[in-house]
Amino acid sequence: MFTDTHCHLLSEYYEDINQILQDATKQGVNRFINAAYDETSIIEVVSLAKTLSGVYGVIGIHPSEAKRYEELDFSIVINNLNNKNIIAVGEIGLDYHYGKEYAEEQKLLFRRQLEIASKYHLPVVVHSRDATADTISILHEYFVKGVIHSFSGSYETALEYISMGFVLGINGCITFKNNHLIEVIKKIGLEHIVLETDCPYLTPQPFRGQTNYPSNILLIAKYLAKNLNVSLSQIAKILDENTHRIFDI
């Protein structure tokens, strides 16, 4: 059985979440870590984690919200961390893909939430796009572990994150043409990764461009099995151990 360690199961994207969970279970995916990114999605993630079997939540404020830093109310994160099915602070981090206009606000937002995670002894789910150096520098300031969501970096960057106690979130991008991640995984080993869909985004081949679903974790796992010459059952076992090492589920 597999875990989708990063998905966005929200009414914004899907009409029938229960059906999506049923479809995923038929494909051997039986746990789902649902990621929030703003105040509205936090409310829904918390609600779904309370009511749906096998669904856990991570709650936090995405760096895209940093331009509103002064008006953000972090109590919505803090007040929901006592729910046993809320298992991490996330999706948090830095994103310079569209420029650095709000870079300082992003850093403030990132640090504020790392402080919360550290205080409550929770792992973090880190979004880092075109911001590797600053992400690593800031993470070195805190004693936290977690997942580097949608990892796409080099072998050297992978080693840096691993040395800090992080695992790497691998999603459908690994199946894309000319993607180098399989070579990185061959070097670091399966012991340092978890699988995620980031649905509804980043659908793996052969369905790239279509809406993504948690059931597609199986496609990613099969890709790994084929390219690493490892059985699906062994991959499932190792990934399950990795997931439990990071998250209290």
Summarised one tens digit per residue, pLDDT across range 123-149 is 999 999 999 999 999 999 999 999 999
Residues whose CB falls within 8 Å of the CB of residue 200, separated by 6 or more in sequence, listed in order = 8, 13, 14, 211, 212, 213
How much of the chain exceeds pLDDT 70, in percent? 100
Write out the two tokens for 182. 């399989």
Q: Please, which pLDDT band fits residue 155 given cuts at 50, 70 and 90?
A: very high
pLDDT recorded at residue 95 = 98
CB 14 within 8 A of CB 22: no
Alpha carbons 85 and 187: distance in angstroms, whole number:
34
Q: Domain extents for the chain?
A: 2-246
pLDDT recorded at residue 170 = 98
68-110 confidence digits (pLDDT tens): 999 999 999 999 999 999 999 999 999 999 999 999 999 999 9
pLDDT recorded at residue 178 = 92
172-193 confidence digits (pLDDT tens): 999 999 999 999 999 999 999 9
Kindly report the backbone phi and psi dihedral angles of residue 75, in degrees, each rounded to the nearest multiple of 5, phi listed first.
Answer: -65, -25
Q: Which CATH number fits domain 2-246: 3.20.20.140, 3.40.640.10, 3.30.1380.20, 1.10.620.20?
A: 3.20.20.140
Per this entry, what is the length of the chain? 249
CB 28 within 8 A of CB 1: yes
Beta strands in the chain (DSSP E): 2-7, 29-35, 55-59, 86-95, 124-129, 146-149, 166-170, 193-195
Residues whose CB falls within 8 Å of the CB of residue 34, separated by 6 or more in sequence, listed in order = 7, 8, 9, 10, 45, 48, 49, 55, 56, 57, 58
Nearest CA-CA partner of 247 in 141, 146, 118: 146
Q: Please, which pLDDT band fits residue 64 given cuts at 50, 70 and 90?
A: very high
Q: Please, which pLDDT band fits residue 168 given cuts at 50, 70 and 90?
A: very high
Alpha carbons 196 and 207: distance in angstroms, whole number:
16
Nearest CA-CA partner of 223 in 245, 198, 248, 203: 203
Residue 28 carries which DSSP code? T
